[in-house]
Amino acid sequence: MSNEFVHSVTVPRIYKCTANIVRRVREDGASLKTLIYEKKHPNVAGIYGLSVNTLRALPQLDQLLDKTQILREQPRLDPWLARVLITELLWRKGCLKSGSKPVLTVLAYENKLREEFKNLAHVETLVVDKEKVIKPRYVRINTLLLSVEKAISIFQEDGWQLLSRSTTYSSYLRSLSQLSKPYFIQDLHIPEILVFPSSTLFHEHNGYRNGELILQDKASCFPVHLLDPVRGSVVLDMCAAPGMKATHVAAKLQNCGKVYAVEIDAKRFEILVSQIKKTHSSCVESLNQDALTLDPKLYSHVEYILVDPPCSGSGIVDRPKQSDMDGKPELERLQNLQSFQVYLLRYALFNFPNAKRIIYSTCSLHPEENEEVIDEVLADIGNAYRLLPVRQLLKNNWKNFSSAKYNCGDTCLYSKPDDDFCNGFFVAVFERNFDVTLPKCKSKGGNEYKNLIKANLNVEKDSMTKTAAYKQDGKKKKILMPHEFDEMRISKNTVEVIVPEIKSGVKTKKNKKEVEKMDASSDLCSFNRELTSNESKDIQNKTLKDMETRKSRKKRKLKDKNVLKIKKDKKMVEADYDEEQQNSETKIELSKIKEEKRMKIKK
């Protein structure tokens, strides 16, 4: 029997969706916005607001659940649904309108919840629309389906009024700070971006639903804008999901060229594929694999590369606070992220010989993920690449750049939420200098990294001590020292012995009993040819001693187990010895007879 409620009246979809989203954000570390938009719920704004409030109130919610004992007394009530319903009751609407069982259960505890709620002195009223930084609403026009001019005309028909386009960055920022309905403006730097007041919603707009309008922050449009690929060229996006940048590139190319969009995560890959389809980006080929496994030989024709690796996301303004540690850099986590970021960027720089321009970007404000990453790869690339000063690329219409205290200087772009009215972002632009050959790089991700691993393996093989006795294992040979003869592979009935003859390298199999009878001196005679006389004597004495010791141990062992068997084995050995002696005498007799015949012939 299920542990959950059997609902005669269904729970409102907004509560069920929000409960599932909040659970996945907390338990799986999933992206809040991605989860909200993939659900395709008609009330996106409502789900977003309720999700953000629930996430922010989690510490208080846990206290309320503990004080009221609601989950202990009602074990069939879903904990995450309970948190969402309590958030709606206490922080948002102040009431719950539904006859479903979970709602009625929470309402039964309403008085207790409100009483305990008063005792939470540190509870703050949460307002979703008020953020520390109020960003305008950025809309990227998908120029594969709609021209910028046509889009402006459509908005004007809807009652929006276009402000004159700014000519300087300072005047542009003033326009953004004062932007309100019914006015909108065309972005100063990226012409396909239109900017609306912060409270504007487009999720119900036909243009958003059919892929003509892309809700993308201006900062995340900078990488493709600065990459500036030429129409007909080949572009590689190494961490492509959810597909904003890959589809932006497709629009830049007008589907004339090729974009390889690589994503390792299966779920994010599905979102990537969906975005490609929705935006009609037919030149984009999606690859569900690790970008570090791409064979450079198969992608040697790549001319432009986007490296936008996983990062801390510290620059995202509207990211809801999920724990008390949010916003505080965690050193170990940053170090792990930095290690991978350097690896990926170095792989892009050293393994695609025809790459003209490579962009490195993060939505982070931490130098560990930005300037420090750039500085580390600068030490490897020499003059094969140069960092393009973003200040010049943007014609001095920007004010935040990387720190001059690092080797990269102030060549890279920073967007700061407080100054630039967009998410925090970092962008570095590498341009190839084809007059200089790419240097060899043995560091992780470099063009000699994999060869170095192979070389190290070969060194380990070649560094073995040489002797004349060899033990063969499949196709590989392993050197066998005389004192290692006891390590020969022994199967159930046979011992596999390597005949120590260097020229022939013949392998034979002998019966265990025959091996036991092998004379130590005859074993040594073949490999002693490769040793000096002194070494031969020392090894011979040592080996004879070792084999005699092993022989005596074996005899004692056999004696303890089965005395009769020892006797039988002894008789067999004696019989074998008599047979050998008899054969030897027979050979002597035959040689005498042959000699007599030869003498008669001479006479």
Q: 10 Å Cβ neighbour count for 383?
A: 10
Q: Which residues are marked as active site? A: 363
CB 454 within 8 A of CB 249: no
Amino acid residing at 543: T
The strand ranges marked E within 396-458 are 413-415, 425-432
Amino acid residing at 376: E
Element (H, E) at 36: helix 32-39
Burial of 186 (0-12, 13-18, 19+ CB in 10 A): buried
CB 217 within 8 A of CB 422: yes
Gap between the terminal Cα atoms of the chain: 113
How many angstroms separate the CA atoms of 565 and 542, rounded? 30
CB 349 within 8 A of CB 358: yes
Which residue in the block uniquely carries the two structure tokens 């102040």?
94
Bridge partners for 385 per DSSP: 432
Burial of 178 (0-12, 13-18, 19+ CB in 10 A): exposed
Task: Find all residues with CB under 8 Å of 578, minimum gap 6, and list them.
Answer: none
Residue 413, both tokens = 């772009």
Task: Find all residues with CB under 8 Å of 140, minimum gap 6, and list them.
Answer: 190, 192, 193, 213, 214, 215, 216, 221, 248
- DSSP 8-state assignment for residue 163: P
CB 497 within 8 A of CB 488: yes
Task: Find all residues with CB under 8 Å of 576, minimum gap 6, and list them.
Answer: 517
CB 406 within 8 A of CB 367: yes
Triad 237, 243, 248: Cα angle to 5°:
80
CB 227 within 8 A of CB 304: yes
Bridge partners for 261 per DSSP: 237, 286
* DSSP output for 197-237: -TT---TT-HHHHTTSEE---GGGGHHHHHH-PPTT-EEEE
Residue 63, both tokens = 């206290």
Task: Find all residues with CB under 8 Å of 292, minimum gap 6, and list them.
Answer: 343, 344, 347, 445
Residue 411, both tokens = 């060549």
User: What is the bridge-based pairing of β-strands 284-287 and 213-214?
Assistant: unpaired
Which is nearest to 124 in space by CA: 90, 85, 89?
90
Which is nearest to 214 in space by CA: 304, 146, 129?
146
How many angstroms separate the CA atoms of 6 and 10, rounded? 9
